[in-house]
A and B are shown apart, each in its own frame.
Chain A
Amino acid sequence: MILQIQNQHPDSNRPLADASLVACPDCDLLQRIPEVPPGASVRCPRCDKELWRHRVDSHNRTFALTVAALVLYIVANTVPMLGLHAAGREAFTTVVGGAHQLRLDGQQIVSVLVLFAAVISPALQIIFLLLILTGCRRERPPFWVGMLLRHVHFTRTWSMIEVMLLGVLVALTKIADYATVIPGVALFALFALVVLLAAMESCFDPREVWESVEWAEETNRRPAGAKQIAEVTP
């Protein structure tokens, strides 16, 4: 403990000796995370926020789901999603194609938003998780695992594939009055992707990763090139 304070980076806070002590993110109540049986969740007694859920085999299951999601994501964004058959003509579009048409029609800002919410954020969501889980396979997960994990919440907030699918359904119903609509392979891939992304997020246990990750403080303190660091009590 003394060693730790001496080596303190001037800017960073000091961790507590008791790592099981947490504050509820929604009401700041100090509490201890108790040991619970697998499958059970720990909730804040004051505001009922789920603080942690004891997931079974979180790492392997999340990894499998993430790889499957990556494959489906690639399919969903490369093959046609919707086709239209009217007056002897056929037109196909993909998600990116939808955003592109908006840009052509002078709605650049909205097209960027659509691209961000339906294409970029889901990609980041999958890639971040994949990198985090691969990084965790090492004996001591490197600090960049933490850097990515810190931003997982952001990618999750802005990834809106499920909302987009509902939008596609509504658009289909509208268009069905004028023309024959042909659902493409990507549409089914997107349906499956929504389910996989939800399963992936609910299997993932960020707490487990945080407990094993290398601390940023140690990385800051470590002289460039040196592999060995001073042993500290977490």
Chain B
Amino acid sequence: MSEANPTAMEQGLQSCHGCGLLSRPAPGAEEGRCPRCDEKLEFRKPASLERTMAYLIAAAVCYIPANLLPVLTTTTAGGSESDTIMQGVVLLWSPTGWPLSLIVLFASIMIPSAKILALLYLVFTVRRGSIKNNSERVRLYRMVEIVGRWSMVDVFVDTFTVSLIQLQPLMSVEPGPGLLFFAAVVVLTMLAVESFDPRLIWDSAAVKEIQHEVQHA
């Protein structure tokens, strides 16, 4: 146990995820309920790494059809044309529209993949028991948490394009099969972020410190 930085778990205390109250489980009990808000209490989120990995793998699988299948199909008198997310970005690129095109590129293609990679990195470093860059890693986690929601933007773009352009028989737009996979990527990565417990980053530090102290004793 590190004397300088005692954590609640080392002291046998559980802090409530719902209300933040610190309490001590009944003797012999591993888990209990928060006396203030009745939330189920655990020292750490249960099976955090396994659940995060499961969501990440599912998200990575959906990421492929999300980018290869069309998200929008435009039907005009001249025929119909399907666009994937990337084609949508290219279509939006114009002397006036390029900032929005960049936003969609970031939100729909860069953020989901960066999110998956960042969480994979966090899961692997925690599993290895790394003690390096703890502050940077927890900052990375918070950034993923804040930025992640913005990848939903393409779902809304497609929703409102579809609902506005209904000028049959002149022109109409329909959602494509890629949209479902893309929405799945967004939801699955958000669930992955929710399942990851950032306290695990610091736990490994505590374990390593004990080993370090033992070696030098």
Q: Which residues on A are within 8 Å of B, measured CB to CB?
A: 8-16, 21-23, 25-30, 46-49, 82, 84, 86-87, 89, 91, 93, 97-102, 105-107, 109-111, 113-114, 117-118, 143, 146-147, 149-150, 157, 160, 163-164, 166-171, 173-175, 178-179, 181, 206-207, 210, 213, 215-217, 220
| Interface membership of B54, Cβ < 8 A | no
Q: Is B48 an interface residue (CB 8 A)?
A: no
Q: Is the CB of B34 within 8 A of A113?
A: no
Q: Using an 8 Å CB-CB cutoff, how does the interface string of B126-146 with A read, 1 for contact, 0 for none?
A: 000000001100110110000
5 more A-B contacts (CB under 8 A) besides A102-B162, A111-B159, A178-B171? A12-B33, A13-B41, A28-B202, A93-B160, A101-B162
Instruction: Report A-chain residues with C-beta under 8 Å of the C-beta of B149.
Output: 157, 160, 163
Which residue of B has the minimal Cβ distance to A168? B160
A5 — nearest CB in chain B belongs to which residue?
A: B26
Query: Quick one: which of A105, A181, A206 contacts B175, CB cutoff 8 A?
Result: A105
Q: Is the CB of B8 within 8 A of A30?
A: yes
Q: B92 contacts A117, CB within 8 Å?
A: no
Task: Tell me the nearest residue of chain A to B76, going by C-beta.
Answer: A178
Task: Report yes or no: B175 in contact with A97, Cβ–Cβ below 8 A.
Answer: no
Chain B residues in 8 Å Cβ range of A173:
92, 97, 100
Q: Are B104 and A170 in contact (CB under 8 A)?
A: yes
Q: In the complex, what distance in Å separates the CA atom of A178 from the CA atom of B141?
A: 41
CB-defined contacts of B35 to chain A, threshold 8 Å: 9, 12-15, 215-217
User: Which residue of A99, A146, A163 is within 8 Å of B37 (Cβ)?
Assistant: A146
B53 within 8 A of A: no
Which of A82, A97, A99, A170 is within 8 Å of B100, CB to CB?
A170
Residues from chain B with Cβ under 8 Å of A9 in the complex: 33, 35
Q: When the two chains form their complex, are residues A167 and B9 in contact, meaning their CB atoms are under 8 A apart?
A: no
Q: Nearest 9 A-B pairs (CB), nearest first?
A: A167-B156, A23-B8, A216-B38, A13-B23, A150-B18, A101-B163, A23-B15, A28-B7, A217-B35
State how many angstroms separate the Cβ of B76 from the closest Cβ of chain A.
10
Report, as a range, how many residues of chain B touch the other chain. 35 or more
On whether the beta carbons of B153 and A170 are closer than 8 Å, the reply is yes
| Cβ–Cβ contact A216 & B34, under 8 A | yes
- A47 and B201 alpha carbons, distance in the complex (Å): 11
Cβ of B157 and Cβ of A109 under 8 Å apart? no
Determine the distance from Cα of A14 to Cα of B141 in the docked complex, in whole angstroms: 31
> Which of B56-64, B115-123, B179-187, B208-216 contacts the other chain?
B179-187
- In the complex, chain A residues whose CB is within 8 Å of the CB of B15: 22-23, 25, 28
A13 with B32, Cβ < 8 A, contacts A114-B159, A117-B152 known: yes
The one of B23, B26, B166, B199 that contacts A16, using a Cβ cutoff of 8 Å: B23
Contact of A174 among B32, B34, B139, B161 (CB under 8 A): B161
In this complex, what residue of A is CB-closest to B164? A84
In the complex, which residues of chain A have a beta carbon less than 8 angstroms from the beta carbon of B70?
Answer: none
28 contacts between A and B (CB under 8 A): A9-B35, A13-B33, A13-B35, A14-B25, A14-B35, A22-B15, A23-B15, A25-B199, A27-B138, A28-B9, A29-B5, A29-B7, A30-B6, A84-B165, A86-B170, A91-B167, A100-B163, A105-B175, A113-B187, A114-B155, A149-B37, A160-B149, A167-B159, A168-B156, A170-B104, A173-B97, A213-B37, A216-B33
Whether A167 lies near B92 (C-beta < 8 A) is: no
Chain B residue contacts of A97, Cβ below 8 A: 163
